[in-house]
Amino acid sequence: MQLTKLEIKGFKSFGDKITINFNEGVTAIVGPNGCGKSNVVDAIRWVLGEQSTRMLRSEKMENIIFNGTANRKPANLAEVSLTFENNNKLLPTEFTTVTITRKLYRTGESEYRLNDVKCRLKDITDLFLDTGLGADSYAIIELKMIDEIINNKDNSRRNLFEEASGISKYKVRKKQTLSRLKDTESDLSRVDDLLYEINKNLKQLETQAKKADKYFQLKEEYKEASIGLAYYRLENFSNDLERIAEQEQTQQENIQITNGKIEEQENQLRDLRQDMLAKEKNLAKQQKSTNEYIHKIRAYESDKKIKNEQMRHLQDKEMRLTAELNTDKKQLEHVQHTLKRLNEELFEEQGKLDVFQLDIQHNQTEVEGLRNQQRSAKAKLDAFTQESSDIQNRIYKLEKDIAVLHIQKDALQQESLRTMTDATSRVEELNEFNKAVTDLEERVAQQQAQYEEAQQAENALQQQMQTIEERLNETRTQLNRESRLVDAKQNEYNLTKSLVDNLEGFPESIKFLRKNAGWRKSYPLFSDILFCQEEYRVAIENYLEPIMNHYVVESQQEAVQAIQLLSDASRGRANFFVLDAIQVAENTPTKPENAVSALDVIKVDKKYSALCEQLLQHVFILKPDAVDTLEQQLPQEDIIILHPEGKFAKNRLGLSGGSVGLFEGKRIGRAKNLENLAKEIKEINQRIEKLQENEAADVDTLATLRISSQKDVIDELRAVLNRLNNELISVKTKQEQYQTFITTSQNRKQDIESKITVISYELQKAEPELQILKVEAETHQKQLAELQNAYNEIADILTEKSTAFNQENIRFHQQQNKVSSLQKDLEYRESQQEALEIRVEKNSLEYEQVKVDMKDAMQYVDHNDDDLVAMYAQKESLEKGLQEMEEDFYTSRKKINDLEEEITQLRRNKDQNDFLLSELKEKKTALQIDLNSLKERLAVEFNIDINELLQSEIPELQASQQELSSSCDQLRKQLDTYGSINPMAKEAYDEMLERHTFISKEKADLMEAKASLMSTINEIDQTANSKFMHTFNTVRENFVQVFRSLFNQEDSCDMVLTDPANPLESDIDIVARPKGKRPLSINQLSGGEKTLTATALLFSLYLHKPAPFCIFDEVDAPLDDTNIDKFNNIIRDFSKNSQFIIVSHNKRTIASTDIIYGVTMVEQGVSRVVPVDLRDVA
């Protein structure tokens, strides 16, 4: 397979469409920094399906679309196409040229195309699976990927080996299988939960079903008892209703008598009430006059009482105001005295405060001076302290370094001793591994020979079985085809024979003659003596339609006999051809062009040939290709022209025609057709018998060969061989690890000795320096003590002065607070004095007003009570007249009350009778309610109509009413306390049991599926493990060869699995010792050595599984000229089998390529490509 073309448009800096054609050999892509070289590599990676924006050097996928320049608008689409020539069918497709295309729109929509047919990303991925190509394969290598391979970032080495060994698809299958296994286990868990719930529900439903059966039994007993009790209650209801009807009639008669008495006394009461109403009006008028006079007396008395109360209030107010004025005047004198005293104290304390303020200002100035001295001394002390601290830190660091060096020296000495001890012990184990490797290699060789021999025999057997199976399938296919054919022919034969035997479509006269024993049945119909070619059958039949039903007889006498039979039986008419009367035709018309004679397309027996010649000698049928030329004209001669499909018939005088039926052409030559069908059916059955014999023979042979298969033996041999290979790989790995360990131990001992020498030198240098620092530290400590003492003296004086200043400051603030307190007290007393003066003035004015009010009130208090005595005498006279009128009113009132009591008593009697009647009606209603309740209960509980019980005769009941009532109560109580039941429990139980059976079957299927998936996973692991180890061993050998070709033949290198027991998950370590170096880690190599080592690994992979093309993106940057030549030489060697595309700045690399594509930016921001073919230059 060869990469032929790359087309880019709108991708990153490629605003215009560019095309890069790739030929065999090495192609270089060059250009200055920032011109877009790496964008070519990104385009190839992107079109191969890269989804990581980090690998495309973008933050988001939209950024890869051309973003425009100062003169260009941004593109709306990024499109990249990659074309391959699939000449060696490496790609699993029938196309020779394969073009993959990827598009991304600025809207975020994306699409993939395969040969311009829309497809999925998965289709692209599957297309390149196990081909060495892909977005993350080893076919595209950037400089940063060299470091990733060296540092094994994200298991990059494993990814390369998996791609080369072709186990990626196995890992995908394993992942899918594990996913299905997880789903299966989830389903199993869900099924177990369902079974648990179903089992629990089954027990509950079984209990519920038994409980429901018991409940229904109790309910049936309750129904029988309730019906018996209902018969008793219906009889009681009938007796009670008769008794209540008699009592109702008696009470209604008593009510009528009482109503007459009530009416008579109510008339008397009405007259008394009218007389009483007049007396009541007079009484009310007299009572109103009396009440008005009494109210007048009470108003006079109230007014006099208010004046007396007002006088007492004024007297009390006078006394209160006199007391308040005396108190306020005394308090005002006290406040004035206090104000005088406070003014004197304030003047005295203010003088003391001024003295304290002068003293504190003096002390504050002295303290500030001492503080400045202290700060100066503190600065000197801190500077000297810092110097002493630095010296101490240097001493501490040096002591720590010396201690570390001693520890390192001791550790190295112990490690040297331990290393040599371990190396000595591993030598013996290495000898045992050497013997084991030799033994295992012999066993592997023997096992391999047995396996190959068995496999060859099995392959031959399988090839033979495949040949037989193909022949068997072909035989069965032919057998099915022949069986269908014989069925069709047999059906056609049966149908035709039925038509012939029953004379379907023929007149009644024909059928009569054929069945009549008095006439010979051997005379044929004209339609039976002809047999025509299939393609002309419709045309001949349509033309001969009028005479198809004619009988063909030998003589006229036979025709006369038949006509006589028809006439006697009144069975219609028939037509006959008489052979004796037919003569051979003499004149043969000329056959027109593009037509065939009707006589040439029919077959008849010799004795009927003259008849056919007479009928058809002038008839011709057009050839199919001549229909269009002759359709428009009539024949000029005395002939008849037929359309080959029977659509028309023409002669020189006219033509006839029309539609053609589906079944036309089936009547002619039926007898002959039956003979032909019988022959064909016989031949086909003979072929079927032969095919069945061949099939049986092949089945027996195939069964015999399958029994002879040795697949189980081969699988066992393969398993043993894989086990031996794995064991050999494991032992070899340990052998190499032990050998490496011994060599490493020896090298490590030399390194340790050199390190001990270096440490000893550093100790000799550090110890004298430590002594000098210690002496310097003692001197600094003495000077630091002197400075500390001076600082302490100043601090003591400052403390003493600060204490005195603080005490003076406290006294100053105390005096200041005392002055402030006196000022506030003075302000309060002044406000108090002002308030007292205002209140005294206010009370004095109010006191004068009270004196005036008291003088006015004294005028009313001095009057006598003569008017009030006269008013009381008039009141007594009015009350006496009112009393007489009241006595007369109440006498009439008593008469009315007595009569009302009599009427009330009569009404009570009536109400009692009404109550008794109501009770009787209520009892009757209650009985009816009970009857309806019984009716409804029987209907609801038992679906029984009470009318049927009433109409039916009461049966003889074995139990009494009391016994039935007790039984009903007991059964009802049992039913009420029975608890809830599930009436559908039985049906639910059966349904749940069926579901339990179904779920159990599903669980068994899931267990079988789980076992199958586990088996699949094991098979995948075994296959992937075998492929991986084969690839690893091959690449490992290739790595040694390529590495030495890039360095020197005596240089050593290796690749080791860190976990040989689990190769599919093990990391891969690279051991490289170029130019005699012995680095402890590959990371200790130089940049160029790392690049060459990674290059050696990549080309080792190419030797095992070559990629169709390889892209190196500035991989040669770390290499010097010598290594560049090695790099170019190995690329030149490998370019014979693969294409190489190199992005580079190195002139030597560029000069060694075949074709150069220069990437430039003629227009700022837009990349263009210029090709140069160096082969033409050379």
Q: Which residues are annotated as a binding site for ATP?
A: 32-39
10 Å Cβ neighbour count for 525? 23
d(CA 215, CA 522): 89
Q: CB of 85 within 8 A of CB of 97?
A: yes
Tokens for 244?
């209540």
What is Dmax (Cα atoms) for the chain?
191
Buried b (16+ CB within 10 A) or exposed e, 573-611: ebebbbeeebeebeeebeebeebbbbbebbebeeebbeb
d(CA 80, CA 18): 10
Tokens for 359?
């003293």
Tokens for 314?
């004024």
The two beta strands, 1155-1163 and 1166-1173, are antiparallel
Q: For residue 491, how far is the Cα from the chain centroid? A: 59
Tokens for 128?
């390149």
Give the 3-state secondary structure of 124-191: HHHHCCCCCCCCCCCCEEEHHHHHHHHHCHHHHHHHHHHHHHCCHHHHHHHHHHHHHHHHHHHHHHHH
CA nearest neighbour of 670 among 578, 541, 574: 541
d(CA 305, CA 301): 6
CA dihedral for 239, 243, 245, 248, sign (positive or negative): negative
Q: To which residue do tokens 């540092």 refer?
A: 151
Using a CB cutoff of 8 Å and minimum separation of 24, what contacts does 378-384 make?
378/791, 380/787, 381/784, 381/787, 381/788, 381/791, 384/780, 384/783, 384/784, 384/787
Give the 3-state secondary structure of 1101-1124: HHHHCCCCEEEEECCCCCCCHHHH
Q: Which residues are registered as beta bridge partners of 578?
A: 553
Q: CB of 483 within 8 A of CB of 695?
A: no
The two beta strands, 110-114 and 640-642, are unpaired
d(CA 332, CA 901): 85
Tokens for 1108?
């169709």
Tokens for 1056?
């080791």
Helix (H, G, I), strand (E, B) or coil at 1153: coil
Work out the end-to-end distance of the chain between its first and last CA atoms, rounded to an integer number of angstroms.
27
- Residues belonging to the binding site are 32-39
14: DSSP letter: B
Using a CB cutoff of 8 Å and minimum separation of 24, what contacts does 248-253 make?
248/917, 248/920, 248/921, 248/924, 251/913, 251/916, 251/917, 251/920, 252/917
Helix (H, G, I), strand (E, B) or coil at 618: coil
Q: How many CA atoms lie within 13 A of 322 on its CB side?
A: 8
CA nearest neighbour of 1045 among 1100, 988, 989, 1117: 1100
